[in-house]
C-alpha cells in the first residue's frame, strides 16, 4: 500500500527526465497525501490531478489498485487503457513491530526520479501496487509498481493494449531500493517535581 509519496525536484529536472517540452506544474512537497494534487504524465502530456479515485460505494478515495486484480475489478477494468506515469522521488511506508509503527522513506538506490504505474479516471488517478521487492519486504507486504525506463514508455503507449503491458506490474527489479527509517524521539522523562 502506498499512502504517501514525495516529488521533490525542480520542474526543469522533471521535464528533462521524462522528455517533456516544458516544465510541468509541480507541487514540490515533502509528502503528497491522498486527495492532494500531483503531477502525472499521461500519453498526451503532464497534468495536475487529484490522488484517489472517487467511487459511490466508498467515502474514501481509492488511492491504490492491486495489480493482481485490476482486470477483474469493475472499478478498474474500465480504466485499463487510461494509463499514466506518476513521478516520484520517494514513497513512505510504515513498518510495525511490538514497539509500534515506524515510518520509512523508500527510494531507488540511485536516488533518481522514478515513476509509478497509474490509472486515470477523469481528473483523478490511482497508483497500482504489487508484492514488495525482496529488499523491502520486511517493511510492508505491498509496494507501488515502479517502472523501469523502457517500461515507462510501454505503459504510457496508447497503442499498447493492457494485455501487452500487464507483465510490467511486478516488484521493482531494475536496481535495489533503500529505506531510511525515522528514529522516534526519545521518550519524555516524567516531571519529578510536578
Q: Please, are residues 38 and 32 in contact by the beta-carbon 8 Å criterion?
A: yes
Q: What is the pLDDT of residue 191?
A: 61
Active-site residue numbers? 2, 93
Does domain 5-181 fall under CATH 3.90.1680.10? My reply is yes
Q: Please, are residues 51 and 31 in contact by the beta-carbon 8 Å criterion?
A: no
- What distances in angstroms separate CA 23 from CA 117, 134, 169, one per listed residue? 21, 35, 28
Domain boundary assignment for the chain:
5-181
pLDDT digits (tens, 9 = 90+) for 138-181: 899 999 999 999 999 999 999 999 999 999 999 987 668 888 88
Neighbours of 90 (CB within 10 A): 23
| 98 pLDDT tier (thresholds 50, 70, 90) | confident
Neighbours of 56 (CB within 10 A): 5
| 193 pLDDT tier (thresholds 50, 70, 90) | low
Q: What is the pLDDT of residue 23?
A: 84
Tell me the mean pLDDT in the region 56-78: 93
Interatomic CA distance for residues 94 and 100, integer angstroms? 10
**pTM listed for this prediction:** 0.91
Rounded (5°) CA angle 35-127-68: 140
Amino acid at each position: 500500500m502506498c499512502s504517501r509519496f514525495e516529488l521533490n525536484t525542480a520542474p526543469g529536472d522533471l521535464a528533462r527526465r521524462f522528455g517533456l517540452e516544458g516544465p510541468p506544474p509541480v507541487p514540490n512537497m515533502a509528502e503528497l497525501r491522498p486527495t492532494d494534487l500531483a503531477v502525472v504524465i499521461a500519453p498526451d502530456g503532464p497534468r495536475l490531478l487529484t490522488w484517489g479515485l472517487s467511487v459511490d460505494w466508498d467515502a474514501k478515495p481509492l488511492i491504490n489498485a492491486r495489480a493482481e486484480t485490476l482486470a477483474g475489478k469493475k472499478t478498474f477494468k474500465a480504466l485499463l487503457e487510461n494509463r499514466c506515469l506518476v513521478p516520484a522521488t520517494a514513497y513512505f511506508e510504515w513498518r510495525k513491530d511490538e514497539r509500534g509503527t515506524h515510518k520509512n522513506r523508500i527510494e531507488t538506490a540511485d536516488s533518481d526520479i522514478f515513476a509509478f504505474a497509474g490509472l486515470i479516471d477523469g481528473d483523478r488517478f490511482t497508483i497500482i501496487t504489487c508484492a514488495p521487492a525482496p529488499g523491502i519486504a520486511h517493511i510492508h507486504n505491498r509496494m507501488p509498481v515502479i517502472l523501469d525506463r523502457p517500461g515507462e514508455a510501454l505503459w504510457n503507449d496508447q497503442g499498447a493494449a493492457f494485455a501487452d503491458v500487464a507483465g510490467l506490474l511486478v516488484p521493482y527489479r531494475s536496481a535495489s531500493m533503500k529505506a531510511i527509517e525515522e528514529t522516534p524521539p526519545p521518550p519524555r522523562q516524567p516531571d519529578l517535581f510536578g
